[in-house]
Amino acid sequence: MVFRHGHRISCLPRETTLSSTPGKYIIGLTGNIATGKSVVRRMLEHLGAYTIDADALSHRAIAKGAPGYQSVVNEFGKWILDPHGEIDRSKLASIIFRDPAALAELEAAIHPLVVQAIHLLVKRASQPIVAVEAIKILESGLKKECDSIWVTYAPEEVQIERLIRKRNLTRQDAQQRIGSQAAQSEKIAAANIVIRNTGSYDDLWKQVTTAWKQISPATAEITRPPVIKQARNFIVLRGKPKNSEAIAQLINHLSKGRQKMSGENVMASFGDKAYMLLQLQDQMVGVAGWQVENLVARTTDLYMENGIDLQIGLEMLMAEVEQASHDLQCEVSLIFPEAELANLSMVWKKLGYEQRTPSTLGVQAWQDAAIESMPQGSNLLLFKQLRQDRVLRPI
């Protein structure tokens, strides 16, 4: 089923066979607008789940060169294209939500592609637990294919505040979007797990971890070791939300005050990213803050202590970021370093990275990720392709 989330257009399968995938436990994660679905999805990643954003897959399906692109252009005309030849989703939305027949045509074009992509991701995921995030899991028929339905809830005033702050909507527009959706109580009635998101990240994290442990005796909590890799007196550790204060102090120190973080800031960041920490002889000397969105890994915080062996430190730190990205089936790794680290060209070359600009990345999803994550006032971007077999690859 195709649906609108703001100006985003997404497609969910009407019928799938996800729960029949051997060894997989499927969480259907849903909830109304601005209730925190994406934050909960990322928290599930921290706990060890593989997660799928159906919204992002539908965007990929109609990107320029992707399998659904030409059929949508043929059906709706070239006027829906932007100056770069990409489908303008706001223009497309203006058609399909006034015309049920147009909506049905779009569903027919995108539906099989998103089904195929979800199946592929579930099949090749190494994690036993998979969470599929979508706003209309219950309406699409995907509900019966999930082992558990998780619903995020937020009070209406919290939803309004988030829409105003994060999407720059007026209060009237925010209320209109909230009012256009079914009552939250309908989703809650169908839920196995309800996550009440009232704005506290600490409370949200506690709810998610508690719910994770209750999924099923057969899917006990996946505990990731704090120490991942050790060599030449360096140790790479995975940061945890409980380490938020220490991570904030480390970033403040290593960035020489260019970033000013508090423990609360870092705890909130865990809704978007993960942290890898580099330790040398009991002292923290490096940190990488990275996130995965739409199968693209983006390292946006990368700091190292002066005076250490930067080559070994970077090799160890980035190797673990890449391994974690590989576990999440990422297609590429993008790094946005500060100039001091970017100048280590021989180190980056050895690691397989090259300096690029967003426009040279070729794949629209990669370009979008680079543009979205590029720090203000910077044009430094390092690129590495992690896998050749892309999801929803061009035809």
Can you give the pLDDT at residue 4?
37
Please check the confidence at residue 12 and state whether its pLDDT lies above 80. no
Select from 187, 219, 251 the last residue of a domain.
219
Range of weakest confidence among 100-104, 139-143, 253-257, 258-262:
139-143
Q: Are residues 117 and 248 located together in one domain of the fold?
A: no
Indicate the average pLDDT of the chain.
87
Would the CA dihedral through 78, 83, 86, 87 be positive or negative? Answer: negative
Q: Tell which residue, 258, 236, 252, 274, has the closest CA to residue 338.
A: 258
What is the number of structural domains in the chain?
A: 2
At 227, the pLDDT band (50, 70, 90 cuts) reads: low
Q: What is the CA radius of gyration of the chain?
A: 21
Q: Are residues 52 and 71 located together in one domain of the fold?
A: yes
- Name the pTM for this structure: 0.83
Q: Bigger pLDDT: 114 or 244?
A: 244
Please check the confidence at residue 121 and state whether its pLDDT lies above 70. yes
d(CA 2, CA 180) in angstroms, rounded, equals 16
Contact 137, 151 (CB under 8 A): no
Contact 391, 116 (CB under 8 A): no
Q: Are residues 149 and 253 located together in one domain of the fold?
A: no
DSSP 169: -
Can you give the pLDDT at residue 343?
93
Q: Are residues 188 and 260 located together in one domain of the fold?
A: no
Q: Are residues 88 and 106 located together in one domain of the fold?
A: yes
Q: Bigger pLDDT: 369 or 3?
A: 369
Q: Which tokens is 277 given?
A: 């920490």
Q: Are residues 274 and 199 located together in one domain of the fold?
A: no
Max CA distance (Å), the chain: 65
d(CA 82, CA 4) in angstroms, rounded, equals 19
Alpha-helix runs per DSSP H in 125-168:
137-140, 156-167
Tell me if 394 is assigned to some domain. no
Would you put residue 224 in left (φ > 0), alpha (ψ -120 to 50) or beta? beta
Helix axis angle for 100-124 and 89-96, nearest 10°, is 130
Residues in CB range of 178: below 8 A, 6 or more apart = 32, 33, 34, 156, 159, 160, 163
Helix, strand, coil percentages (3-state) for the chain, rounded to 5, are 45, 20, 35
Q: Are residues 18 and 127 located together in one domain of the fold?
A: yes
Can you give the pLDDT at residue 226?
65
Please check the confidence at residue 7 and state whether its pLDDT lies above 60. no
d(CA 42, CA 145) in angstroms, rounded, equals 22
In the block, tokens 């709706």 appear at 76
Per DSSP, the chain holds a count of helices (H) and strands (E) of 16, 15
Can you give the pLDDT at residue 20?
53
Q: Are residues 135 and 50 located together in one domain of the fold?
A: yes
Domain hosting 111: range is 2-219
Q: Which tokens is 350 given?
A: 């050895």
Residue 282 phi, psi dihedral angles, 5° rounding: 70, 10
Please check the confidence at residue 10 and state whether its pLDDT lies above 90. no
Q: Are residues 237 and 110 located together in one domain of the fold?
A: no
Residue 23's alpha-carbon distances to 5, 18, 192, 198, in angstroms, are 32, 11, 20, 34
Rounded to 10 degrees, what is the CA torsion of 247, 249, 251, 257?
A: 160
In the block, tokens 């990213």 appear at 273
* Structure confidence by residue, pLDDT tens digits, 65-107: 899 999 999 999 999 999 989 999 888 877 876 787 887 888 7
DSSP 323: H
**HEC secondary structure over 179-243:** HCCCCHHHHHHCCCEEEECCCCHHHHHHHHHHHHHCCCHHHCCCCCCCEEEEECCEEEEECCHHH
Q: Are residues 136 and 22 located together in one domain of the fold?
A: yes
d(CA 323, CA 320) in angstroms, rounded, equals 5
Q: Are residues 134 and 200 located together in one domain of the fold?
A: yes
Can you give the pLDDT at residue 1?
37
At 184, the pLDDT band (50, 70, 90 cuts) reads: very high
Select from 219, 250, 275 the last residue of a domain.
219
Can you give the pLDDT at residue 101?
85
Please check the confidence at residue 140 and state whether its pLDDT lies above 80. no
d(CA 306, CA 300) in angstroms, rounded, equals 19
